[in-house]
A = this chain, B = another copy of it.
Amino acid sequence: MIPMFQELLLQNERKIILMILDGLGDLPDPDKTALELAKTPQLDKIARKSGFGMTVPVATGITPGSGPSHLALFGYDPIEHAIGRGVLEALGIDMEVGEKDLAIRANFATIENGIITDRRAGRISTTECARLCKKLGAAITRVQDIPVEIKPAKEHRFVVKFIGADLNENLTDADPQKDNHAPVYSKAKNPSAAHTAEVVNSFIKKAAEVLKDEEKANFILMRGYSRNPNLQPMAERYGLRAVAIATYPMYRGLARLVGMKVVKTGDEVSDQVATLREHYVQYDFFFVHIKGTDKAGEDGDQQQKVKCIEQFDTVIGDVVTLKPDVLCITADHSTPAKLHAHSWHPNPFLLYSPYVFPEKKRFTERHCAVGMLGRLHAMEVMPLLLSHALKLKKYGA
């Protein structure tokens, strides 16, 4: 973002819809990508009037997680503003992290005769995890007068949050990293974290005391100490009334971190479009997050990925009837079915606006790679959306 960016902001009634098909980008497998295989009559109609390009989420060759890839799309430098593991884990279970909170990823573990024999406590069930968190939460409500919240995640994982105390995140992990080692406690990486080290180590000891009669989960490990990155809210950064329509907690959380309103919606893409229609008057920026494509990619199921895209195609016509001034359809990162994982490949990027050169082609990776919008850094997306919505004044006379 250029330094005087905010002085260029202009208020108007124009509306921007950013639809993220998570992990949309694919590889030919064997010959075609999911976008190339999918039958998408509605999307094709929109694509013919749209400009194409490709976005690089973080840097060439770098595979991003959901945190950095979304931050970049929202226009926040994903390298400057790292979102810590504890915060991401908290967001993933719909736990808010306030400005002065400290969020921590924790594991239940097994200790025998002073040696941690299983760092995952035999991968106890999520139900068992919930019971243990409840037990811990009932026994420990404060540590050194700081309120603490404990919330279960999957299997042996849970999240601990120290509330409002401005604790310091510069601690070493309280985790021996390998089985059959003695427990380690957190150490302050600098003097100002000394108090926090005391607090968290005291919490670990209290927890061990509460859990001492449990068969497997009689100890805890803590790591990924992190704080809310305190990002400038989108309203301030862009002058936008922004709203997120996302079903998965992590994306709702990421949207909250940049100050978006997060509204209730249903599980289906059609529910999300209904929610979009319902809130269309109150907001001027809409972030719609669709998870299915990424999930299918991670499962290595290209057919399912194709299905998700075709399902998206059944609702995209409805979105266009809202007459958005700018409609952007893209991805946060690629998740090629062939790789069963996120990848470093740039994202296909579609921009529907009266101020683009229509490509008159289908929306595919190959057509986007030679599109007139060129290759963009994901951080350039917000300025581009704002300019197409005529929300940016001229720089200099």
**Chain A residues in the interface with B (C-beta under 8 A):** 2-4, 8, 27-28, 54, 58-69, 78-79, 82-83, 85, 88-89, 336, 338-339, 341-346, 354-358, 365-366, 369-370, 372, 374-376, 380, 382-387, 392-397
| Contact call A2/B357, Cβ cutoff below 8 A | no
Contacts of A374 in B (CB 8 A): 54, 346, 369, 375
Cα–Cα distance between A339 and B372 once the two chains are bound (Å): 19
Instruction: Tell me the bound Cα distance from A336 to B390 in angstroms.
Output: 13
Residue of B nearest to A57 (CB): B395
Partner of A339, one of B355, B382, B395: B355
Q: Are B64 and A395 in contact (CB under 8 A)?
A: yes
Q: How far is the CA of A393 from the CA of B356 in the complex (A)?
A: 36
Bound state CA distance, A374 and B88, in angstroms?
A: 32
Report whether B336 and A28 are in contact in the complex, using a CB–CB cutoff of 8 Å: no
In the complex, the answer to whether A376 meets B68 with C-beta atoms within 8 Å is no
Task: Decide: A395 near B62, CB < 8 A? Known: A3-B79, A344-B387.
Answer: yes
Which residue of B4, B8, B63 contacts A392 across the interface (Cβ within 8 Å)?
B63
Cβ of A4 to closest chain B Cβ, rounded Å: 8
A28, B61: Cβ atoms under 8 Å? no
How close is A152's CB to chain B, nearest CB, in angstroms? Answer: 18
In the complex with contacts A372-B366, A386-B61, A357-B27 CB distance below 8 A:
yes
**A355 touching B338 in the complex, CB below 8 Å, given contacts A8-B62, A64-B396, A82-B396:** yes
Q: Known: A61-B380, A85-B397, A397-B85. Contact between A343 and B355, CB under 8 A?
A: yes
* Additional 14 contacts, C-beta under 8 A, given A61-B385, A65-B396, A357-B366: A2-B58, A2-B59, A2-B79, A60-B376, A61-B383, A62-B392, A65-B394, A66-B396, A88-B397, A336-B355, A342-B394, A344-B384, A357-B365, A366-B372
Tell me which residues across on chain B come within 8 A of A397, comparing CB atoms.
Answer: 65-67, 85, 88-89
How far in angstroms is the closest Cβ of chain B from A51? Answer: 10
For residue A358, give the distance in angstroms from its CB to the closest CB of chain B: 7
List the 5 closest pairs (A to B, CB-CB), nearest first. A61-B383, A65-B396, A60-B380, A61-B387, A68-B396
- CB distance A369 to B366 under 8 Å? no
